[in-house]
Amino acid sequence: MENMLEVKNLRKRFGQNEVLKGVSLTLKKGEVLSIIGSSGGGKTTLLRCLNFLETANSGEIVVNGKTVYRAEDGEKPELTPEAQASFGLVFQQFNLFPQYSVIDNLCLAPKLKAKREKQDRNEEIEAKARELLETVGLSEKANAYPCELSGGQQQRVAIARALMLSPEILCFDEPTSALDPELTGEVLRVIRSLKDSERTMIIVTHEMEFAKGVSDKVIFISDGVIEEEGTPEEVFVNPKSEKTKAFLSGGSK
């Protein structure tokens, strides 16, 4: 099967500090990739580069065989809407729009897109929004405002919102780190259900047990390089790198 995503030699510097020192990875359709590693290692920066919230200094991003981003050192390529639309992102802090109801949070961006394309698809968009709310189990909250929801519910809305534009690859940036422990379960369950529907996902997470259970592939990033990669078995059970072993044993304390 062909690779859905290919990342080639991605590098990112902040001033003198090189955070990503040439990261390459591949992902097939329907696969789930978990990225683990200690804070400051570059995993969030990698995710932000994939979503174009940071501009990688050099490297290439290929989605479905099409190069959506390529930069040589020193140049800043133009970001196309197609490149942006290839990826969806769920934030650690949810970042719902507080003044819009749940359903309007989902519909805002697609409706603006339809308006740009001079099409009237409002009914279709609203139907899709209700369908996605059902997927994340929040149909009855369609007209609630974000401030009336718990953190877990807000994150489930954020997941539905990210799915509205049907991204090829859905990314999660520590989706449960801002949640109380008793609320992480509902969010993880939603992510697991997305895996069952063959959605391609990249998850930056500290939930090792979850990563072990849900992933097809795990990457351990340390100091801006991929220190170890493989199946959950290979990385969690039989890590080869000393750094990975140290990280995993530290994490389980």
Partner 1 sequence: MEMFLDVLSQLAGGFVTSFLLFILTLILALPLGLLVSFCTMSKFAPLSMLSKLIVWILRGTPLMLQIFAIFYLPGILRLFIWPQMNTGWEWFDTTFSTRFIAALVAFAINYAAYFSEIFRGGIQSISQGQYEACQVLGMSKREAFFKVILLQVIKRIIPPMSNEIITLIKDTSLANTIAVYELIFEAKEFMVIDALIWPLFMAGAFYLLFVGLLTIIFGLIEKKLSYFRS
**Site residues, partner 1 (CB under 8 A):** 51-53, 81, 84-85, 87-89, 91, 93, 95-99, 108-109, 112-113, 145-147, 161-162, 164-165
Instruction: Report residue 113: phi and psi, to 5°.
Output: -65, -45
Strand 217-222 and strand 225-230: the pairing is: antiparallel
Kindly tell me which of 120 and 233 has the beta carbon lying closer to partner 1.
Answer: 120
Region label for 223, one of left (φ > 0), alpha (ψ between -120 and 50) or beta (otherwise): left
CB atoms within 10 A of CB 98: 9
- Minimum distance from CB of 159 to partner 1 (Å)? 13
Alpha helices in the chain (DSSP H): 43-50, 81-86, 102-116, 122-135, 151-163, 181-196, 208-214, 232, 242-251
Nearer to partner 1, 42 or 167 (CB): 167
Smaller CB separation from partner 1, 127 or 165: 165
Q: How far is the CB of 113 from partner 1 (least distance, A)?
A: 6
Helices 151-163 and 122-135 meet at what angle, rounded to 10? 140
In the complex, least distance from residue 48 CB atom to partner 1, rounded to whole angstroms: 9
Taking the complex as a whole, the smallest distance from the CB of residue 34 to partner 1 amounts, in Å, to 20
**Between residues 9 and 119, which has the closer beta carbon with respect to partner 1?**
119
* CB nearer partner 1, residue 35 or residue 96: 96
Torsion of CA 124, 127, 133, 138, to 10 degrees: 150
**Min separation Cβ 95 and partner 1, Å:** 4
